[in-house]
């Protein structure tokens, strides 16, 4: 049996790796295995982002779903958290989002949610993989064909927006903000939500053409947003990613607030109001070292997952009953309102805190002082995956850098679960030493793995 799932669902080059045949089989397997009480699904939702490959993959998924006797309900272009929320609101057995999140247009992916709007468990993912690779005939109905129907949910976007309005209760009256929609799934819903909350909204990168999703925009490249905030003297900027499940922010002075800062702002606000479960938030190994002493000083307990990924964060939150957790990327789960990261909900929450405190976003950003941190991505060919861990020169330079940083820093090297790259993160009190370590490891890795560009 092969592996389909990575850290954030199924992902690959659209049509050539994530083929229509695979999409159809995943749709059939999801319909067959994700129903309540071990039965087939009766109703399954499908949402998508703005990539040009989404249409053909949506058709393939719907065909697979219907071939199993399940009705496919098409949501259209909506953010990933909308699929999770609407799966519950519409009483569906499962939900599927077609998106490769922050990746460029040539990639696509499939994310699945159960009837509670939760990401699939490992055992559920393994069952879908078993069905796709080893038991395709098992999924087909016996006897008289049972064919599901395809329905279009015309009110899906507004149903999601109305839920956010109810959950956030933010008052952003006359707040001047700029939203970079990354030419992605939230390009329409973002402006509608924040306008309804009272903000004066200017939208940039909100003209998707199928290929410009995440292209020099959104949370992966905040340069355009920073420039727009400074030029228009806006009070804040919100940078979304391609599927709208993460958010970064720019303050009025053009400074970036990453997920660590946003998580700290929320955690402190919730603790002061007695709303932070067990006074605890969940983080990952990528969380800045400066977060931990800040949390101790403010009476906030931090629990760290063993690996990166929103799935690990949510699993720990459910397991121990916590209601706040997230990643440096801006994927933050507010479990009182959502079962996954939601960039729109996060942006509204932070701006509401800013408004209630009558302060600038730059003042909120001073919540803690992060250590200097550098991340370098080294392209990684498929045949090179995994071998770097056994190369003495690579391991040697990693250990040398760890020794040189000592207790004042750290090195974290891993293969990305969403992109074909080796991520090299160095962090510590000394910014120059941190940069030197990250670049030294990258040079050795590129040379040995046969890559020449970064």
The β-bridge relationship of strands 107-114 and 94-98 is antiparallel
d(CA 14, CA 54): 9
Query: Does some domain include residue 350?
Result: yes
**DSSP calls for 14-41:** BTTTB-HHHHHHHHHHHHHHSSGGGPPP
Note the helical H segments in 90-182: 122-134, 156-168
Q: Are 119 and 173 part of one and the same domain?
A: no
* Same structural domain, 39 and 98: yes
41 and 112 together in one domain = yes
Of residues 453 and 65, more confidence is placed in 65
Tell me the per-residue pLDDT of 303-357, one tens digit each, with 9 for 90 and over: 999 988 899 999 999 999 999 999 999 999 999 999 999 999 999 999 999 999 9
| 116-168 pLDDT, tens digit each | 999 999 899 999 999 999 877 777 777 667 899 999 999 999 999 999 999 98
164 found inside a domain: yes
Q: Does some domain include residue 417? A: yes
Q: Which residues contact 286 (CB under 8 A, 6 or more apart)?
A: 308, 327, 328, 329, 412, 425
Is residue 454 in some structural domain?
no
Contact between 247 and 343 under an 8 Å Cβ cutoff? The reply is yes
Q: Which two tokens stand for residue 118?
A: 């939760």
Catalytic residue among 33, 53, 67, 101: 101
Does 213 lie in the same domain as 192? yes
| Strands, sheet with 200-204, edge to edge from the N-terminal-most edge strand | 200-204, 176-180, 236-240, 247-251, 256-257
Where among 96, 125, 153 does a domain terminate? 153
Residues 314 and 271 occupy one common structural domain: yes
272: Cβ contacts below 8 Å, ≥ 6 apart: none
- In the predicted model, what is the mean pLDDT of residues 14-27? 96
Output the domain CATH number for residue 389.
3.30.310.50
- Closest by CA position to 225, among listed 261, 263, 190: 190
- Of 330, 348, 367, which one is at a domain's C-terminal end? 367
- The count of structural domains within the chain is 3
Q: Note the pLDDT of residue 137.
A: 72
Same domain, 115 and 129: yes
In a domain, 95, yes or no: yes
Tell me, yes or no, whether 210 and 194 share the same domain: yes
Residues 363 and 381 in one domain: no
Do 82 and 164 share a domain, yes or no?
A: no
Within a domain: 198: yes
* Residues 59 and 141 placed together within one structural domain of the fold: yes
Residue 440 lies in a domain: yes
Cα–Cα distance, 104 to 451 (Å, whole number):
20
Q: Are 60 and 31 in contact (CB under 8 A)?
A: no
Q: Is the pLDDT of residue 453 over 50?
A: no
Ranked by mean pLDDT, which of 42-51, 376-385, 394-403, 418-427 comes out on top? 42-51
Active site residue 338: no
Task: Express each pLDDT in 353-376 by its tens digit.
Answer: 999 999 999 999 998 889 999 999
Parent domain of 244: 159-367
The pLDDT score that the predictor gives to residue 451 is 46
The C-alpha atoms of residue 14 and residue 104 are separated, in whole angstroms, by 11
> Last residue of a domain, which of 367, 387, 419?
367
Residues 130 and 222 placed together within one structural domain of the fold = no
199 contacts 139 by C-beta, under 8 angstroms: no
What pLDDT was estimated at residue 452?
A: 37
Determine the average pLDDT of the residues in 207-216: 98
pLDDT band at 197 (very low <50, low <70, confident <90, very high): very high
CA angle 117, 119, 120 (to 5 degrees): 115
Same domain, 37 and 135: yes
What is the chain's mean pLDDT, rounded?
Answer: 94
| CATH code of the domain covering residue 75 | 3.40.120.10
């Amino acid at each position: 049996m092969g592996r389909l799932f990575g850290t954030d669902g199924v992902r690959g080059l659209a049509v050539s790796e994530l083929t229509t045949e695979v999409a159809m089989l995943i749709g059939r397997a999801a319909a067959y295995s994700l129903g309540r009480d071990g039965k087939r699904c009766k109703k399954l939702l499908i949402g998508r982002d703005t990539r040009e490959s989404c249409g053909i993959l949506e058709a393939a998924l719907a065909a697979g779903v219907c071939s199993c006797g399940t009705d496919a309900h098409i949501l259209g272009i909506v953010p990933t958290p909308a699929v999770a929320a609407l799966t519950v609101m519409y009483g569906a057995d499962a939900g599927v989002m077609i998106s490769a999140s922050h990746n460029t247009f040539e990639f696509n992916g499939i994310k699945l949610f159960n009837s509670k709007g939760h990401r699939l468990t490992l055992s559920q993912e393994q069952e879908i993989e078993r069905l796709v690779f080893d038991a395709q005939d098992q999924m087909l109905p016996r006897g008289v064909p049972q064919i599901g129907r395809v329905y279009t949910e015309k009110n899906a976007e507004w149903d999601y927006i109305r839920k956010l309005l109810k959950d956030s209760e933010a008052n952003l009256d006359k707040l001047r903000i700029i939203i970079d929609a990354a030419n992605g799934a939230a390009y329409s819903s973002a402006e509608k939500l924040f306008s309804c909350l009272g903000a004066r909204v200017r939208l940039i990168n909100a003209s998707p053409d199928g290929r410009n999703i995440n292209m020099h925009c959104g949370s992966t490249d905040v340069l355009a947003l920073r420039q727009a905030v400074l030029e228009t003297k806006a009070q804040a900027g919100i940078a979304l990613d391609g599927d709208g499940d993460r958010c970064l922010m720019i303050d009025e002075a053009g400074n970036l607030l990453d997920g660590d800062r946003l998580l700290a702002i929320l955690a402190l606000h919730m603790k002061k109001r007695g709303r932070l479960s067990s006074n605890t938030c969940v983080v990952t190994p990528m969380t800045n070292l400066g977060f931990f002493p800040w949390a101790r000083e403010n009476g906030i307990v931090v629990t760290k997952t063993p690996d990166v990924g929103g799935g690990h964060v949510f699993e720990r939150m459910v397991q121990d009953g916590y209601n706040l957790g997230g990643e440096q990327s801006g994927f933050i789960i507010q479990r009182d309102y959502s079962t996954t990261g939601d960039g729109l909900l996060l942006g509204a929450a932070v701006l509401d805190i800013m408004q209630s405190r009558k302060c600038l976003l730059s003042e909120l950003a001073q919540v803690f002082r992060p250590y200097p941190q550098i991340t370098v991505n080294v392209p990684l060919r498929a045949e090179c995956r995994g071998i770097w861990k056994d190369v003495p020169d690579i391991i040697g330079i990693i250990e040398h850098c760890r020794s040189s940083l000592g207790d004042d820093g750290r090195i974290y090297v891993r293969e990305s679960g969403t992109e074909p790259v080796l991520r090299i993160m160095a962090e510590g009190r000394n910014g120059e030493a941190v940069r030197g370590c990250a670049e030294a490891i990258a040079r050795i890795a590129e040379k040995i793995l046969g890559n020449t560009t970064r």
